[in-house]
Amino acid sequence: MSTMQNSNLIAAAVGATIGVISVATVFIYNRVMERQQHSAMNSNIDRVNRKVAELKAELEELRAQQANLQKSRKKRLVKRQVYSNDNTYTGTEDVDIDTYSIAGTDIGDEEFFDCSDDELDIENGLCYRTSEGTISENLELLSLDKDSEDHTLHSVIYHKLKTLVKEHPDDVEIVWRFARSCYHCSIQVNNSERQKEYIFEGCDACEHLLHISHGNLYKWYAILVGVKSKFLPTKGKIEYGYLFKEYVEKALEINPHDSFLHHLMGRFKFEVSELSWIERKVASTLFGEVPSATYQDAIPHFETAEKLSQKPHHENTLLLGKSYIAVGKYQEGVSWLSRLEEIPVNTDEETRVQGEARKLLEKYSEYCT
């Protein structure tokens, strides 16, 4: 996932959950947005664009269904080919499904190797079946993971995974990837109603599997919950703030070395710390208790994210420096902010972060002398 997408994700998942707590601001903001959305929905251009998008989506879904049928057939043929009659493995595990040839065998076009309900648990194979009868098509999922790094393929991936989820709604490996895909697609559309559809669809797919302890399922459910909160009234935003925190914590228990999860938790605590006393008091009186945290609570998560991340995360470094400054540790804060001067920037968002860091350095460097 790119740094730009990470920043967008944080703004949605955490900002929407916590940042709109001031009651007066919330109501003014919601009314302005409702009017803008109403105007946009009445626009002829918007209607035409939406219709074109729907037609493209239907076409992609039909293509995905056709591709899945073809792959399903080829996988069964491969399974028949690599096992001999005495049930010993005779082929190679490095099978290219799309180019696999059955020339020289007696397998006909209409003949398939059927997997029975009580078998099929092949390590590194084409598929596996759990005791509940769910199926994960490992090679295809790994291919989709790689493709997800290309934002131009997000719509295609979404439709492929949507088809798989319909076929295997209880397969957690498919569902969490579908949740990720719903998020990716939601940030690429400008229509708020379509964004809402993506986010709610991803949440719904996850919710009946939350009894399964799975780090990626909890991680992407938490992210979607954070984005979903922006479509809710203020009381719902606060309630979803707790839900966001709960599932990030659960994901961290399973994957404690996930740098992005630590960044999410640090960002959540940082945003909570930013609330003024009056904002917290008014929101608590009208809507219920607001989550509590301090800048000091956020620092360990930001530091852990820095240690675990395999590449620079500009936003994390900035917030770590700001957290240290907020607790009066100016030397540590300036030290972290100074590192941003040495990190190359590749996007407008990274440039913005670097610019903010420079302003803070101008202000607080003198505190260290």
Does the residue 115 lie in any domain?
no
* Residue at a domain's end among 256, 281, 298: 256
Mean pLDDT of the chain: 74
Does the residue 328 lie in any domain?
yes
Does the residue 286 lie in any domain?
yes
What is the model's pLDDT at position 59? 64
**CA gap 205, 169 in Å, rounded:** 7
* Residue at a domain's end among 256, 285, 319: 256
Q: Is the domain of 199 the same as that of 278?
A: no
Residues of the chain with pLDDT under 50: 16, 19-33, 35-41, 44, 48, 75-136
Q: How many domains does the chain have?
A: 2
Query: What digits encode the pLDDT tens for the residues 228-242?
Result: 988 988 888 888 889
Element (DSSP H or E) covering residue 282: helix 277-287
Does the residue 44 lie in any domain?
no
Query: What digits encode the pLDDT tens for the residues 122-177?
Result: 233 333 334 333 344 577 888 888 888 888 899 999 999 999 999 999 999 999 99
What is the model's pLDDT at position 65? 61
Rounded to whole angstroms, what are the CA distances from 59 to 155, 156, 165, 224?
11, 10, 18, 26
Does the residue 340 lie in any domain?
yes
Does the residue 177 lie in any domain?
yes
CATH of residue 268: 1.25.40
**CA gap 123, 141 in Å, rounded:** 15
CATH of residue 241: 1.25.40.10
Q: Is the domain of 353 the same as that of 309?
A: yes
Print the domain residue range for 293.
Answer: 263-368
Does the residue 117 lie in any domain?
no
List b or e across 138-171, with b for residues whose CB sees 16 or more CB atoms inside 10 angstroms: bbbbeebeeebeeeeebbbbbbbbbbbbeebeeb
What is the model's pLDDT at position 54? 59
Q: Is the domain of 240 the same as that of 288?
A: no
What is the model's pLDDT at position 31? 44
CB 299 within 8 A of CB 329: no
Q: Is the domain of 274 the same as that of 310?
A: yes
CB 126 within 8 A of CB 75: yes
Does the residue 352 lie in any domain?
yes
Spell out the residues 6+ positions from residue 89 whose beta carbon is closer than 8 angstroms to its own.
82, 83
Q: What is the pTM of this model?
A: 0.63
* Residue at a domain's end among 256, 272, 292: 256
- How many Cβ atoms from other residues are within 10 Å of residue 39's Cβ? 10
Q: Is the domain of 323 the same as that of 248?
A: no
Q: Is the domain of 247 the same as that of 278?
A: no
Token digits of residue 90: 């005779």
What is the model's pLDDT at position 334? 95
Coil, helix or strand at residue 83: strand
What is the model's pLDDT at position 53? 62
